[in-house]
Structures are given as structure tokens and as C-alpha cells.
Amino acid sequence: MRSWPTVYIPDLSERFRLPPLSLFDSSDAALKVLPQQDTYRIYVCGITPYDATHLGHAATYLTFDLIIRYLKATGADVKFVQNVTDIDDPLFERADRDGVDWKALGDSQIDLFRGDMSDLHVIPPDHYIGVAEAMPLVIDAVAKLDEKKSTYLVEGDKYFRVHADPHFGERSHLNESDALKIFAERGGDPQRDGKEHPLDALVWLTSKPKQPTWPSSFGSGRPGWHIECSAIALHYLQPSSNSEFSLDIQGGGSDLMFPHHEMSAAQSAVMTGKPFARHYVHAGMIGLDGEKMSKSLGNLVFVSKLISQGVNPMAIRWALLNRRYREDAMWSGEVLNDSMLAVDRLQLNLAKMEVAPTDVVITQIIGALSEDLDTERALRVLSSWMDETEAGASGGNAGELSRALDTLLGIAL
């Protein structure tokens, strides 16, 4: 599937050294330093194309954009893959509700998403892959699970035995009753009769009327959600055979931690015989005015709407950077106004002939990012620099700071 246009990233002067990046790993529930490597493999779960792109999506993709920017600035090559869940129940249900064709709905939302990512200056994936186009890979992955004797049928639907992976559950740390509850809330079917274990996950659904279907050696149907990500990641990221893990980072919003990431990782581990990702990174959720932002509450804030109202995408970026990526945060008119003012102020200061010293600012921003992407601190450093510049300090290089902000934070003014 077509990705979105490449984002130009200015080079950072070699005077600035980047320490190794430490990131919170949800699986180990601890901060871990990413080992220094020539190549990193990053897989970030993409959207199901309806209700795109709300601020929660934007916050998630921005998080991984920062990681990719940082790793690239160290001189490493970053292989980055993202999927689009263009075959899924929620998409069919929405299309049905609105009386539109699911394919047309999906295509229109994917187009919106690409435009929003481009406006927000988010680095595009090297491979942006829809499930429909990846179907042969997904079918191969299901066949591999069959070979490993980790599947069984319930009325023609094929399930993955989650405990075929001896480490199942170790990435999400949930007790069984919480796992069952969340599984049911997020598309799982713990109650279905005939399942060997209530948490076993659907990998192939037999054909249903009015839904798309694909032929396979195990019957016509369509894949479950989790298997698509295992299949796409393992194929397009081309894991190195001598690496201990298939990928370096598996990422997404914190609502994907369970069951989606646990299931994709378990399926991949059964297929390959090695752990899926070295690091599991999850971004927090964005609420609105004190409430959870969700489609059921009807209070989603869309990036494209804000931009069409004249909001500078960099102000949206600033607002989302002005928080810790792992924590849930609230959006409000005030948050947006403050960010618009901050970005205007930054623009004015970067245009000045004389500015406060900048080397120290760039070094401190790098330091803040290296410590679990502390963007809140990075923006505080920048605000202090603006205070000093406005107070008449001099000796800095505004052009160099401007380029560094683009390189590291994706703030391009």
C-alpha cells in the first residue's frame, strides 16, 4: 500500500553526541537501554481505517516518530513497518451502520490518515501494508501455526492455542480474570463454546455472508486480527537470523498491550522459535476535557478537523510533545491555545539575529530525549531559551537550533 511522502530530516552536527536511548519496556516493566546497533527493526501497529485520525492516533505515531528520529540521528539505519487493519469487524460494522461500502470507507480513512501524518511531519514507514494485500503472507503464517500443532477448529473457525507459547502472558502481566475481562472488551470471545482455553485467539474465520473472503488450503475465510501483525512484521522487517529477537521494537497505543501485542508476540514466537520483540513500547491515551476520548462517547478530536480550522500542525505536535508519552493526558481548548502561542513564540525567536546560546539547548534536548523520550523536559529547555533570548542574551546559532528541532523533535517551522 502507498505510504505517505518522505520527510526530510536535517543532519545534526557531529559536535553533538547522542547517548544510548533508554525506553520503558512494558514487558519488563522497567526502563531499558536500547543496545547500540547499525540497524533497528521497528514495527508499529497501524489503524483500523475508520475514525481516523484522532488525537490518540496522532500521539501514538508521534511517539514512534521520535524514537525513529533519535535512532537515525545516531547514524543507525531504521527499518520501519506499519500495517493497516483494512479487514476487521469494527470496519465492517461501521460500514454497515452508515450504509457504505467497507472498502470505500477504508480507502477514504487511509487517505485521511496519510494526509494527517504528512501534515504532522511523521516519518513514513518503509512498508505500509494492508492485510488484504498481505493475505498470502497471513495464510502462510496460519499454515506455520498448523505445522506447529498450535491450532484447532471450532465450527470451522481456527483458533491459536495461546499456551503453545510457554511465555504467554509474560508481556502484559495480567491475572487471568483481568485478562479475560479485557479480552472480551477488545474483540475477544472468551465465552465461546468449544474453545480449549477461553483466551485462545481466532486466526482464521470461516466465510460469512456479505464479508470478504479469501481461498486457502484450510478453507475460504479471512484472518483474525493478531496474526496479521505477526505475519507482516516477520516478512517485511526481515529479522536477522543471528539476532536473539525477531524485532527491536513492537509498538502501539497502550490499549494494544493486551490482547493484541501479547497474541501477536505469542504467535510469532511459536512460528520462529524466538522471542518477537526486544522492547515493547506503548504510548498513553488522550482524553478530552476530563473524559476518555472514544468513539462510543462521540468526543473524538480529529487532526484533519483542527487543521482545516487553521490550526498549525506544529501546534498539535507541540501539544502532544508537552507531556510524557507513556502517560494518559487530557486535551482541551486551553492545551491547544497554549501550544499555538508557544509555537508562534518559537517562530519569532528563531527568526531573531541574536539569540541565547544554542549548543547547550541542543545538548539538553538530546539528553532529555535519551531518557525515555522526556519531551516535556525538552520543551521546558526550549522555553527557557526563549526567555533568555527575549531578555537579550546572545551567542547562539538560531539556524542550527532550528535544524536540530526538526531533526530531533520533528518541529519544522
- Closer residue to Zn ion in complex, CB, 83/370: 83
Taking the complex as a whole, the smallest distance from the CB of residue 83 to Zn ion amounts, in Å, to 6
Taking the complex as a whole, the smallest distance from the CB of residue 306 to Zn ion amounts, in Å, to 26
d(CA 413, CA 402): 8
Taking the complex as a whole, the smallest distance from the CB of residue 287 to Zn ion amounts, in Å, to 23
What would the DSSP string read from start to end of 50-108?
Answer: SSTTBHHHHHHHHHHHHHHHHHHHTT-EEEEEEEE--S-HHHHHHHHHHTS-HHHHHHH
- At which residue does the C-alpha cell 476487521 appear? 88
The strand pair at 286-288 and 127-130 is best described as: unpaired
The residue type of 325 is Y
Which listed range, 45-53, 68-76, 118-126, 268-276, lies at the site for Zn ion (CB under 5 A)? 45-53
Taking the complex as a whole, the smallest distance from the CB of residue 300 to Zn ion amounts, in Å, to 20
Residues 6+ apart with CB under 8 A from 47: 53, 57, 84, 85, 109, 110, 113
- Closer residue to Zn ion in complex, CB, 169/224: 224
The site string for Zn ion over 272-311 (x = CB under 5 A, - otherwise) reads ----------------------------------------
Q: Is the dihedral of CA 231, 23, 362, 409 positive or negative?
A: positive
Taking the complex as a whole, the smallest distance from the CB of residue 53 to Zn ion amounts, in Å, to 17
Range 318-351 burial, b when 16+ CB lie within 10 A, else e: bbbbbbbbbebbebeeebbeebbebbeebeebbe
Which listed range, 212-220, 222-230, 290-298, 333-341, lies at the site for Zn ion (CB under 5 A)? 222-230
Taking the complex as a whole, the smallest distance from the CB of residue 313 to Zn ion amounts, in Å, to 26
Which listed range, 53-61, 103-111, 123-131, 227-235, lies at the site for Zn ion (CB under 5 A)? 227-235
Q: Which of 229, 368, 386, 408 binds Zn ion (CB under 5 A)?
A: 229
- At which residue does the C-alpha cell 533570548 appear? 389
Taking the complex as a whole, the smallest distance from the CB of residue 45 to Zn ion amounts, in Å, to 3
Taking the complex as a whole, the smallest distance from the CB of residue 88 to Zn ion amounts, in Å, to 11
C-alpha cell at 368: 532529555
- Closer residue to Zn ion in complex, CB, 255/388: 255
Q: Tell me if 84 contacts Zn ion by CB under 5 A.
A: no
Q: In the sheet that 151-154 helps form, which strands lie side by side, from edge to edge?
A: 151-154, 157-160, 201-206, 221-223
The site string for Zn ion over 116-145 (x = CB under 5 A, - otherwise) reads ------------------------------
End-to-end CA distance of the chain: 30
Q: Tell me if 203 contacts Zn ion by CB under 5 A.
A: no
- Closer residue to Zn ion in complex, CB, 229/373: 229
- Closer residue to Zn ion in complex, CB, 47/62: 47
- ∠ CA 195-199-202, nearest 5°, is 70
Taking the complex as a whole, the smallest distance from the CB of residue 181 to Zn ion amounts, in Å, to 21
Which listed range, 24-32, 221-229, 285-293, 372-380, lies at the site for Zn ion (CB under 5 A)? 221-229
- Closer residue to Zn ion in complex, CB, 229/293: 229
Residue 35's CB is within 10 A of a number of other CB atoms, namely 11
- Closer residue to Zn ion in complex, CB, 229/340: 229
d(CA 203, CA 187): 13
Taking the complex as a whole, the smallest distance from the CB of residue 218 to Zn ion amounts, in Å, to 22
d(CA 197, CA 213): 26
- Closer residue to Zn ion in complex, CB, 277/321: 277
Size of the site for Zn ion (CB under 5 A): 2
Nearest by Cα to 27 from 237, 185, 174, 202: 174
Length of the chain: 413
Nearest by Cα to 148 from 268, 276, 275: 268
Which listed range, 33-41, 44-52, 300-308, 313-321, lies at the site for Zn ion (CB under 5 A)? 44-52
Which listed range, 156-164, 223-231, 237-245, 356-364, lies at the site for Zn ion (CB under 5 A)? 223-231
C-alpha cell at 154: 471450532
Q: Tell me if 45 contacts Zn ion by CB under 5 A.
A: yes
Q: Which residues bind Zn ion (CB under 5 A)?
A: 45, 229
